[in-house]
Amino acid sequence: MSSLPPRLLLGPGPSNVHPRVLAALAEPLRGHLDPAFLAVVDEVQGRLRALFGTANRLTIPLSSTGSGGMEACFANLVEAGDRVLVGVAGVFGERMHEVAGRHGARVTRVDAKWGTALDEDAMIAAIERERPALVAFVHAETSTGVRQPVERIAAAAAAAGALVVLDCVTSLGGLPVRLDEWRIDAAYSATQKCLSCPPGLAPASFSERALARVARRRTPVSSWYFDTTLLGSYYGAKRVYHHTAPVGLIVALAEALRILDAEGVDARVVRHARAGARLVAELEALGFEPLVAPEHRLPMLSALWLPEAIVRAGEADLRRRLLEEHGIEVGGGLGKLAGRIWRIGLMGENARDEVIDRLVGAVKKGAGLDSSTFPVGKS
């Protein structure tokens, strides 16, 4: 047995895993072609379709983390020379830009300031000007805590005949996701955020339009591992062996999705919204300041400028003490926001009042803060 200490995981993911999911992980393993396991695969595919808001046949748990889901989308849907438009307002938009380029796309980017949403009009204008074959952007930008409105951009892309790829890594299970209604062609998520599963799977979904694009490729998909045609042979009626599915993780995901469906996705969305709003209010009272305008804040991941007292005391040191003395992990800033913000996740099982109470208490104690010394507002 390991002697690792338990943690309250309030960073950008992984989040804490429900005890029933941990119990599912500890069940004896079965084979990846075992009928009993294949019934679980069917169940997972069905529950993921409902959660993604799609009827897409190829809705599956990819055998990778969320970043592998991103790779799968671009590897399948892009060929050398294809025009791709990417919206970039944080690390994960940058990553989409990078991955699309590696697959040979001629990539155009529309940038927005980190901490803001993409300018929808600018995206639409770029779509109409560039006429890209594919448009990609992030629904929930984990590096900045920004929720990106999807519908207008996706509609403009569809009207221009472009496929749309949407990063739902942090949104799925905590915000409404409606791939079919929004006309999204490929989307991917991760299990360790609002689904409260361990990392290692990327739930993903591909529309028939996307699969038709794959069928029309002039060149093979460079990635054998993420080839949607081959994956569809296992995750379909034929159950043809492709690679050994991560059976234990998929059984755990099934349990997590049962828990999610018992709560109901609408109730879960409301729970995340309430928790995120309360967290921000509590921390504003301590001198933190939200990075993101209210209408674009993610409920499950709050990005906050630090109070002067924490910057002076050393934010990395305070995070280390929160971890060591209180068993609480929060996230620092990525890229240009490193050292300047914290990213606090209330994802899945952690989007609850008692978690907020524990965090706020620990921050007050750890930083020597209390609300009487830090009035609400800018420091």
Report the nearest approach of a copy of itself to the CB of residue 378 (Å).
Answer: 30
- Least Å distance, CB 102 to a copy of itself, is 5
Give the chain's largest Cα–Cα span. 66
Using a 10 angstrom Cβ sphere, with 0-12 exposed, 13-18 middle and 19 or more buried, the burial of residue 274 is: middle
Report the site for a copy of itself in 68-97 (rule: CB under 8 A): 68, 70-71, 75, 95
199 scored as a contact of a copy of itself (CB under 8 A) = yes
Amino acid identity at 1: M
Tokens for 35, please give them: 């009928």
* Footprint on residues 262-291 left by a copy of itself (CB under 8 A): none
Least distance CB 17 / a copy of itself (angstroms) = 5
Nearest CB to a copy of itself, comparing residues 241 and 376: 241
Per the DSSP assignment, residues forming a β-bridge with 58 are 206
Sequence-distant (≥ 6) Cβ neighbours of residue 91 within 8 angstroms: 141, 142, 143, 334, 335
Return the DSSP state at 314.
Answer: -
By CB under 8 A, name the one of 44, 245, 303, 322 that touches a copy of itself: 245
SS3 39: helix
Q: Does 229 bind a copy of itself (CB under 8 A)?
A: no
Q: Give the other-Cβ count within 10 Å of 195's Cβ.
A: 30
Closer to a copy of itself by CB, 101 or 176: give it. 101
Using CB under 8 A as the binding rule, the residues of this chain from 331 to 350 that contact a copy of itself are 334
With contact defined as beta carbons under 8 Å apart, do 164 and 157 qualify?
yes
CA 176/CA 266 separation, integer angstroms: 8
41 versus 153: smaller Cβ distance to a copy of itself? 41
Is residue 294 part of the contact set for a copy of itself (CB under 8 A)?
no
- The verdict on 107 binding a copy of itself (CB under 8 A) reads no
Contact segment (CB under 8 A) with a copy of itself among 128-136, 181-189, 216-224, 276-284 equals 216-224
Q: Does 223 bind a copy of itself (CB under 8 A)?
A: yes
Nearer to a copy of itself, 44 or 291 (CB): 44
Binder to a copy of itself among 116, 120, 122, 222 (CB under 8 A)?
A: 222
Q: Which stretch binds a copy of itself (CB under 8 A): 151-159, 171-179, 194-202, 204-212?
A: 194-202
Residue placing its CB nearer to a copy of itself in the complex, 68 or 132: 68
Helix locations, the chain, DSSP H: 19-25, 35-52, 66-77, 91-102, 120-130, 151-159, 179-182, 208-215, 228-234, 247-263, 265-284, 308-313, 315-326, 353-367
Binding of residue 40 to a copy of itself (CB under 8 A): yes
DSSP-based three-state secondary structure for 273: helix
Binding segment toward a copy of itself, per CB under 8 A, in 61-69, 114-122, 173-181, 261-269: 61-69
Q: Which amino acid is at 200?
A: G
Shorter beta-carbon distance to a copy of itself: residue 124 or 257: 257
- All residues at 6 or more sequence positions from 307 whose CB lies less than 8 Å from its CB, including other chains: 286, 287, 288, 367, 369, 374, 379
Tokens (6 digits) for 338 = 């490193």
Whole-number minimum distance, CB 181 to a copy of itself, in Å? 29
Kindly state whether residue 225 participates in binding a copy of itself, applying the rule CB under 8 A.
yes
Closer residue to a copy of itself (CB): 15 or 59? 15
Phi, psi for residue 217 in degrees, rounded to 5? -60, 145
Q: And the tokens for 368? A: 């020597």
Instruction: By CB under 8 A, name the one of 51, 52, 56, 66 that touches a copy of itself.
Output: 66
| Using rule CB under 8 A, residue 352 touches a copy of itself | no
Using CA atoms, how far apart are residues 59 and 61, in angstroms rounded to an integer?
A: 7
Nearest distance in Å: CB 105, a copy of itself = 11
Is residue 177 involved in binding a copy of itself (CB under 8 A)? no
